[in-house]
Amino acid sequence: MSTDLVVVYSPVGGGHKSAALATAEAARARGLRVEVVSAFDHAPRWAGDAYVRAHLTGQSAAPELYGQMYFAANRRGDALEPLRLGLDNLVFGGLADHVRALAPRAVVATHHLPLVVLGRSRRKGTLDAPLLGVVTDYTAHACWAERGVDAWAVPFGGARAELAGHGAPLARIVETGIPVRASFARTPSLLAGALPRVLRVLVTSGGFGHGPMTRIVRSFASVPNVELVVVCGAAEKLAARVAREADEAGVPARVIGFEKDMAARIAEAHVVVGKAGGLTVTETLTAGRPMIVASAVPGNEKLNEAFVVDGGAGIAADADDVGAAVERLRDGTGASLVAMGERARQLVPRHAADAVVDAALGLVRRSRLAAA
């Protein structure tokens, strides 16, 4: 039996998988047959481990260098591009074979790496299904503009023009928003005057437990009337370290590891503190919660941070100043936090995942018409 939609992601951070699962959820709600595929399952184990390790090490150990490399690579046709594309095709070539075996009507990729391999298959005519790339940041890096991609889904704002500037045909770039699961849009709004005396703050590190979590928790040591929930992702050692830090600093905190239902967790919070990954930002804004972006790394995180701050949906703070920032935002009625929460919801579309599915099905219809 053929597959209606194959959704491919790379497990580099949790956001790309979250976007893939959100897209799959929206497609299955329409009765479509969907397969979700990790690109790393079709490459040698060492390759995936090295890719993730380089990404996380660059962000945590050398953020300024990471930012410099991000912007240096933000153009097509650099001298190293043939080597990079050749290596990616060699290492991840098994992905194209697997996707072809699923016989999809359309393919959606929520990370740029699968576009290298699958775009090559489209150019060579070995993949019949149209290919849609889903940009998961509030900026479009040049790496998304791979040849062989049939169309791109991007967030509203400047990403469409940026991607076109990297060579993607403007007519094939559609603004959909970044896909998140429907449960985030169902989160009740904050109500002015109804915030309790004790403010609930959610601190999240992302799926890999990445970020200055102990510094953030320690920043609440002298802040009264707050309760923290700290989500440390898959990093068990980090969870133990954060719990110990909170106890030593006298900060009321519940520390947990990986959270399967982030929508419910965000719904319990009055404010969210986190890294500026595209999905963390979009899930928070869709839920109508103000965000404090903590110690964003130069590159896509800083650009995502600017989207939040410029839109009036949150503020940026150094990890050591997060507690003080929360205290400044709180007033007698919670009006500042409530206003930020309302602006958050206005910044993002509520049905982005459905729009991505629409874009993929639109490609299927156009390919059928072209073949008729």
Structural domain count of the chain? 2
Report pLDDT for 71: 75
Give the domain extent around 127: 3-178+351-371
H runs (alpha helix) in the chain: 15-28, 45-61, 63-72, 81-91, 93-101, 112-124, 159-165, 182-185, 213-218, 236-249, 262-268, 278-286, 300-310, 322-329, 335-347, 352-371
User: For residue 177, which of 351, 363, 357 has the smallest C-alpha distance?
Assistant: 351
Mean of per-residue pLDDT scores for the chain: 89
My answer on whether 170 and 217 are in the same domain is no
My answer on whether 280 and 366 are in the same domain is no
Residue 40 corresponds to which amino acid?
A: F
User: For residue 358, which of 119, 5, 2 has the smallest C-alpha distance?
Assistant: 5
pLDDT digits (tens, 9 = 90+) for 246-295: 999 999 999 998 888 999 999 999 999 998 999 999 999 999 999 999 98
CA-CA distance, 16 to 8, in Å (whole number)? 9
User: For residue 26, which of 173, 115, 134, 158 has the smallest C-alpha distance?
Assistant: 134
CA-CA distance, 66 to 57, in Å (whole number)? 9
My answer on whether 167 and 81 are in the same domain is yes
At which residue do the structure tokens 């967030």 appear? 155
Give the number of other CB atoms < 10 A from CB of residue 180.
Answer: 30
My answer on whether 128 and 256 are in the same domain is no
My answer on whether 71 and 211 are in the same domain is no
Q: For residue 79, give the CATH number of its domain.
A: 3.40.50.2000
My answer on whether 268 and 356 are in the same domain is no
Rg value, the chain, Cα? 21
Determine which of 54-68, 176-190, 310-324 has the lowest per-residue pLDDT on average: 54-68
pTM, rounded to two decimals: 0.92
Report pLDDT for 68: 76
pLDDT digits (tens, 9 = 90+) for 202-224: 999 765 556 688 999 999 998 99
Average pLDDT over residues 4-20: 94
pLDDT digits (tens, 9 = 90+) for 31-76: 999 999 999 998 888 777 777 776 666 566 567 777 777 777 788 7
My answer on whether 334 and 361 are in the same domain is no
Structure-block tokens of residue 284: 């928070």
Residue 111 corresponds to which amino acid?
A: H
My answer on whether 197 and 310 are in the same domain is yes
Report pLDDT for 258: 81
CA distances for 305 relative to 230, 282, 289, 296, angstroms = 20, 11, 15, 7
Report pLDDT for 107: 98
